[in-house]
Amino acid sequence: MINDYIFILKAVCHTLTQTSSHQVLICRNYKGDVDMSEIDHFFTLLMQQEEEGLLCPVMSHGNVHFLWIKHSNLYLVATTNKNSNASLVYSFLYKLVEVFTEYFKELEEESIQDNFVVVYELLDELMDFGFPQTTDSKILQEYITQQGNKLEVAKTKVPTTVTNAVSWRSEGIRYKKNEVFIDVIESINVLVNANGSVMSSDIVGSIKLKTMLSGMPELRLGLNDRMLFALTGDKGKTTVTMEDVKFHQCVRLSRFESDRTISFIPPDGESELMSYRINTHVKPLIWIESVIEKFSHSRVEIMVKAKGQFKKQSVANNVEIRVPVPSDADSPKFKTSTGHAKYVPEKNLVVWSIKSFPGGKELLMRAHFCLPSVENHETEGRPPITVKFEIPYFTVSGIQVRYMKIIEKSGYQALPWVRYITQSGDYQLRTNT
Amino acid sequence: MTDSKYFTTTKKGEIFELKAELNSDKKEKKKEAVKKVIASMTVGKDVSALFPDVVNCMQTDNLELKKLVYLYLMNYAKSQPDMAIMAVNTFVKDCEDLNPLIRALAVRTMGCIRVDKITEYLCEPLRKCLKDEDPYVRKTAAVCVAKLHDINAQLVEDQGFLDTLKDLISDSNPMVVANAVAALSEIAESHPNSNLLDLNPQTINKLLTALNECTEWGQIFILDCLASYLPRDDRESQSICERVTPRLSHANSAVVLSAVKVLMKFMEMLPKDLDYYGTLLKKLAPPLVTLLSAEPELQYVALRNINLIVQKRPEILKHEMKVFFVKYNDPIYVKLEKLDIMIRLASQANIAQVLAELKEYATEVDVDFVRKAVRAIGRCAIKVEQSAERCVSTLLDLIQTKVNYVVQEAIVVIKDIFRKYPNKYESVIATLCENLDSLDEPEARAAMIWIVGEYAERIDNADELLESFLEGFHDESTQVQLQLLTAIVKLFLKKPTETQELVQQVLSLATQDSDNPDLRDRGYIYWRLLSTDPVAAKEVVLAEKPLISEETDLIEPTLLEELICHIGTLASVYHKPPSAFVEGSRGVQHKRLPPRAGSGESTESPDVGQSGPSEAPPAVIPSQGDLLGDLLNLDLAPPTATVPSVQPSMQMGAMDLLGGGLDSLVCSSPAMGAGLGAAPAAMPASLGSAPAVGGGLGDLFDLGGGVGMPTGSYVAPKTVWLLAMKAKGLEISGTFARRGGIIQMDLSLTNKAMSVMTDFAIQFNRNSFGLAPAGPLQVLTPLSPNQTIDVSLPLSTSGPVMKMEPLNNLQVAVKNNIDVFYFSCQYPLSLLFVEDGKMDRQVFLATWKDIPNDNEAQFQIKDIHLNSDVASNKLQGSNIFTIAKRTVEGQDMLYQSVKLTNGIWVLAEMRIQTGNPNYTWMCWRRPHVRECVSQNDSPVIS
């Protein structure tokens, strides 16, 4: 379960010599087991693997193992020479990114250098001897304050929260108006084969909270029972079950396990309370039919038909349909029934944007590109068409918040607000050419 | 202003300036100066010269400044050990500060200063902090014990910190409990046999309670610790599982995986007919699938683990094929893993979908991915018989694409399909031959050559094709050369008239013009075989090949079990045991799954395979579809660490070939011929332990041949226990024997190093039967390079006793003038059968009745052609005494008794059916001993 080092590195490209190297921005040694210079091997390995096109998130040199993630142009690397818990290491590295991002807005080279004192402090507090400790940034912010804030005696007490059973919420929070905002967001993942059959589809839902409540409130969330055990589909025939539910650590898991009650003391401010997955055959909300005809050495003709397969009353907003085109295409010409199409040559895409797309409608886009007479020798992949959209006031699964009970010992009245939205997740349609 | 300004001051004389600033009276200036020092440290400049000045700043009320100074100390204390002492006073003082944050900071930093001299001073402050009223300080102090242990283990033990740490498991604060557990687990790792984590139902209960309350990381520590516990019975196992399952709903993937580990391990103990067992299986699938929506690196870890889980318990994910379909934007490492799992889950029910997907992948651009996809199609064909035809036609479609690497992969897998379904798809050979010229990879060339040789009679121009390869014989890789040799010999045997010249050419190329010993040896074997007895040659070379199994590259079961115990860790990602990549873990016990529920019932007992080859293990295609897995390369098969189980199956004939060479080849039975003709057949992994198994042939029954004389106890041939490369040139092989009531360890010490070895000594770790050397290791003369000495070491059974896993495991340390080396070996239990093991008839009868049913086990020993008298005589040689015999309906039943050195009796009944070479042996007295005896009785009797 242990790692020795956490490094934050950046890649440096020397444009003149065409080689790249790395620079350790900051590192923290948690144990004495691995020599710091081992990190040099990491970059050599990384470059090797990149060249071979076989990157792997675990690399080893001798008996030192590197577990790494990349965040923009930074590499966060953990080293170990034991049989560490790999999933813990990656979870922790991602947590690190999360904490730094909450502290510095953006995690990048500059923010690390600008705040190196805080970074050191955080690294010290987040992990001890390779064991992750308190990683809740809201609690950390109570005693590791941004520089500029003078540390006064009152602030340098350990918040009891750190070691409390409720380690995610401090006592003594006050709001004039007590409110909770609940966002129910469902993302649709769809993979459609070139012949139009849906290969896989599922719904990944998430319930997010913005809590503005005083004191230590006890909350209980009630969802429509239909959802918790089984829900009937559109026509009332099929039954779909919530496949898997994941909760924020504030939710009492054993309680949920025994009687399916979602009870918790919420973290203050924004948080994701729960996520769920529904493994069901969802009708793709926006159906795409495409004909991409490639006449080598002369032109490509693209015809895309999009159909809104959802209720007429609903509207999909900010729809973007991304159609791949060959990398050597040029002179684009478009014709659309609604919205507008744009060629994005750096991504080899045509992006067709539609501000609002009413349910039941069918829209059409045609595109024409020229191809050079000299053929491109490199074989290209066949990227799928991807679609982005969001449909407010509606969930595909039919999930509903039936109640949110808020009990605090001071006895205040608080209002829950609920919003529903359905959006595209990983929405891919394979093409023929 | 930001901190970045500190990085920019890089003037000359900087150190000097900093020194002045550090000694300034103004607090602000001091702090700025320390920041500059830290900044220089961060960019890798050496600022250790400022050590005394920085340490002077340590006594301050300003927390931020204090933290910076501590940070500096952690970095440079090791290089300035003498000056680090200066800091001790402040640490001691800070540990008594009013502010818990400072107390914790001090104790946290103290432990990070790895200077021996300092550690002693830290004991008192640490002791206080472990009992601090503030949980934040206690949880930090708990970790500090682990740190201190890492620096000076003895000190920690002497000071009694381990006990204090154990007490913290009962702390009222969940975070303290979690850190104490983490620290103890860490310490226990370096003391493999210590009883540090003394887990009992009470502590387990405390851990489970803390599990509900601590942070996500704490939950992982606790779950990982729980996984090392062995519940007493299935009921306890179930109740732990019930309390762990809610963790499957945690948002943190690492918590989920650790929970899966605990469940997978404890499930082993649940009876399969239990309702709860089924419920648990169902509960495991959804969280595993959800792991695939995590970040790609976590997905990768999850997929590597799912790969193990699918092999261990395929039923969990059998309906979840679709979630493993590859997405266009998955990183390559995720794609490859998904593909692997797809094949493992492929079945008749979903094969159509899988094939459609694979075909899609095979036309992508990423070469490695495409190759693997093509290979996957072949594996599907072998796995799901009903789909074979569709797979072959898919492969043919792919060959038509003429994409070079696709064609080559396709040919490699088609060869395996031919092997699996002979005489079914040969119609495609013509298409394959068209692509002969485009093959440039050795594996594909070798596959194609094999196909041509195998079906030479159906390919009109087979001789031309093979001849064309022969032209560049010397430039080919060994793999291709070997294959070409075999193929031409096959061709010759099928069409002798037209190909005499060709075969002579290839034989001379192989034997005279090649430096490769494998190639030469094979050439000679064929040559002599052909010249001595062409009929025999035909029988050997063209013999029927053993079938290849449907599953490829399955992980060997004992390794799989160990890896299941390591779910979530690097071991599970690498699919290697920790001992393979963690230094200094050699002596560490391999983790095992708990004993399976209901293993007492003989019929489904997993041990059956060990005592009798009821099902001959299927040959496995090596993962690379390696043609090299043929006869002469058997010795290349990876040596497996399995207990050498004697399997007197037909494949053993092939093993003998290695040792016996030509002579035994010629006079060998047809079964051996099968081994030889099986050119592309790989031997099952279990036979990799060839040296030990091969000896099974020269065993008692064959040599004694039914003479009916007590031949003395069975002695296994020596096996290598310590490899020279692992012991600086010292190779040790050995065996155990019981001679005249004295247990002896026969050792051969070989010096494979360049220098002389002297001063040998030997020691045993505590073991199940208290085996210990009865005298010193007598190596009187120095062992010079390349010399071998045989020594017999008498053993006593009066040493300290500790139960080992497996029971008959013995850990040995051998010392010489160079170093100390460790190895472990297993002794046959028959070693411990004492001479006075003959039980009185009356006592036997009474005891027999008292044996509870669940102490009973049954084993089958096959293929032994002996009558009961001879058998009982033989067994008596090994101190297995026949008390009574009766004959019922043509079955001889022998009642036997055995006494072990530690006074345990084992009673047995042996049934021998005349005319049926299978023996059934059943009923043992003590459950632990029982399993071991079953492993060992085969060599004794056979």
What is the pLDDT averaged over residues A74-86?
Answer: 90
User: Can you give the pLDDT at residue A36?
Assistant: 75
The alpha helices in B23-113, defined as continuous H runs, are 27-42, 51-56, 63-76, 81-94, 100-112
Torsion (CA) B802, B803, B804, B806 in degrees, nearest 10: 160
For B324, the token pair is: 């493993």
Do residue B101 and residue A162 have CB atoms under 8 angstroms apart? no
For residue B595, give how far its alpha carbon lies from the nearest alpha carbon of chain A (Å): 24
Q: Strands of A161-251 (E only): list them.
A: 179-192, 198-212, 218-223, 231-232, 239-240, 242-247
Asked if B224 lies within 8 A of A1 by C-beta distance, the reply is: yes
Shortest Cα–Cα distance, A312 to chain B (Å): 31
With beta carbons under 8 A apart, name residues in chain B contacting A58: 300, 570, 573-574
Residues 358-397 of A with CB under 8 A from B: 379-384
Using H for helix, E for strand and C for coil, what is the string for B779-795?
Answer: CCCCECCCCEEEEEEEE
- Look up residue B316 and give its DSSP letter: G
Rounded CA separation B849/B851 (Å): 6
Put simply, the answer to whether A277 touches B100 (Cβ < 8 Å) is: no
In DSSP notation, B220-234 reads HHHHHHHTT---SSH
pLDDT of residue B854: 67
Q: How far is B593 from chain A (nearest CA, A)?
A: 18
| Closest to A146 in 3D by CA, of A121, A170, A126, A171 | A121
Compute φ and ψ for A421, nearest 5 degrees.
-150, 145
- Chain B residue numbers with beta carbons less than 8 Å from the beta carbon of A60 are 581
Compare CB distances from B332 to A55, A88, A252 and report the shortest one's residue: A55
> According to the model, what pLDDT value does residue B244 have?
94
CA distance B159 to B635: 54
Task: Kindly tell me the burial class for residue B667, based on how many C-beta atoms sit within 10 Å of its own C-beta (0-12, 13-18, 19 or more).
Answer: exposed
**CA gap B114, B75 in Å, rounded:** 10
Chain A segment 158-187 residues within 8 A of B by beta carbon are 158, 162-163, 165, 167
pLDDT band at A159 (very low <50, low <70, confident <90, very high): low
**Angle, in degrees to the nearest 10, between helices B478-494 and B462-470:** 150
Structure tokens at B841: 């008839």
Provide ipTM, 2 decimals: 0.82
Which of B68, B251, B571 is nearest residue A83 as measured by Cβ atoms? B571
Residue B292 is given by DSSP the state: G
Burial (Cβ within 10 Å: 0-12, 13-18, ≥19) of residue B449: buried
Beta carbons of B478 and B519 less than 8 angstroms apart: yes
Q: Is A128 close to B143, i.e. CB distance below 8 A? A: yes
Report how far residue B119's alpha carbon sits from residue B151's, in angstroms, rounded to the nearest whole number. 8
Nearest to B220 by CA among A137, A91, A57, A122: A91
Nearest to B810 by CA among B774, B837, B773: B773
All residues at 6 or more sequence positions from B715 whose CB lies less than 8 Å from its CB, including other chains: B735, B736, B737, B746
Instruction: Say whether residue A121 is in contact with chain B using an 8 A CB cutoff.
Output: yes
Joined together, the tokens standing for residue B669 give 């039975």
* Residues of chain B positioned with their CB less than 8 A from the CB of A29: 74
CA distance A133 to B236: 31
A20 pairs with which residues across the strands?
A13
Q: Which helix (H) or strand (E) holds A417?
A: strand A415-429
Best mutation target among A87, A125, A385 (most B Cβ atoms within 10 Å) is A87
Per-residue model confidence as pLDDT tens digits over A189-240? 999 988 888 888 889 999 999 999 999 999 998 887 554 554 334 444 334 4
**Cβ neighbour number for residue B282 with a 10 Å cutoff:** 10
Q: Which of B576, B580, B543 is nearest to B562 (CA)?
A: B576
CA distance linking residue B142 with residue B165, whole number of Å: 6
Which of B99, B249, B569 lies nearest to residue A156, judging by beta carbons? Answer: B99
Which residues of B are less than 8 Å from A24 in CB distance? 44
List the strands of the sheet with A269-278, edge to edge: A242-247, A269-278, A198-212, A179-192, A415-429, A385-392, A315-324, A349-358, A340-344
pLDDT on residue B488:
92
Measured CA distances, B757 to A311, B250, B417, B729, B749 (Å): 87, 58, 54, 10, 10
Strands B820-826 and B809-815, sheet pairing: antiparallel
pLDDT of B345 = 92
Q: B interface mutation test: which of A29, A81, A129, A278 has the most B CBs within 10 A? A: A129
What gap in Å lies between CA B735 and CA B825, rounded to an integer?
A: 9
A64-71: strand order across its sheet: A19-29, A5-14, A74-80, A64-71, A58-61
Of how many residues is chain A composed?
433
* Cα distance between residue B340 and residue B297, in whole Å: 17
Chain B residues with CB-CB distance to A87 below 8 A: 253-254, 257-258, 298, 301-302, 568
Average pLDDT, 10 consecutive residues per value, chain B (942 residues): 59 73 81 86 82 82 83 83 82 88 89 82 91 92 92 88 91 92 88 73 90 91 92 91 93 95 93 90 93 94 96 92 90 94 91 91 87 91 88 91 88 89 84 85 91 87 86 87 92 87 89 87 90 85 76 80 94 92 67 67 38 39 37 35 37 34 34 34 34 33 35 70 80 84 84 80 83 80 80 82 80 82 82 80 75 68 68 77 76 78 76 62 49 46 44
Residue B302 neighbours by CB under 8 Å, 6+ apart = A87, B253, B257, B288, B291, B292, B294
Q: How far is A75 from chain B (nearest CA, A)?
A: 13
Specify which residues A315 forms β-bridges with. Answer: A358
- How far is B607 from B590, CA to CA, in rounded Å? 19
CA A344 from chain centre, in angstroms, equals 24
User: Quick one: pLDDT at residue B438?
Assistant: 84
CA-nearest residue to A275 within chain B is B251
Q: Tell me if chain B has a CB within 8 Å of the CB of A245.
A: yes
| B182–A54 C-beta distance less than 8 A | no
For residue B27, give how far its alpha carbon lies from the nearest alpha carbon of chain A (Å). 13
Which of B37, B136, B279, B404 is the mutation pick for testing A, counting most A CBs within 10 A?
A: B136
What is the per-residue pLDDT for B363?
83
Q: Angle CA(A418)–CA(A424)–CA(A429) in degrees, nearest 5? A: 160
Top residue of B105, B306, B573, B574 to mutate, by most chain A CBs within 10 Å, is B573
C-alpha A424/C-alpha A422 separation (Å) is 7
pTM of the model: 0.71
- pLDDT at position B920 is 54
What totals of helices (H) and strands (E) does chain A contain, helices first?
A: 7, 25
* Contact between A24 and B44 using a beta-carbon 8 Å cutoff: yes
Calculate what percentage of chain A has a pLDDT beyond 70.
85
Judge whether B858 and B922 are in contact, CB under 8 Å.
Answer: yes
Inter-chain CB proximity B4 and A384 less than 8 Å: no
- Paired with A274 in beta bridges are A207, A247
Residue A420 tokens read as 């529903």
Q: What is the pLDDT of residue B927?
A: 43
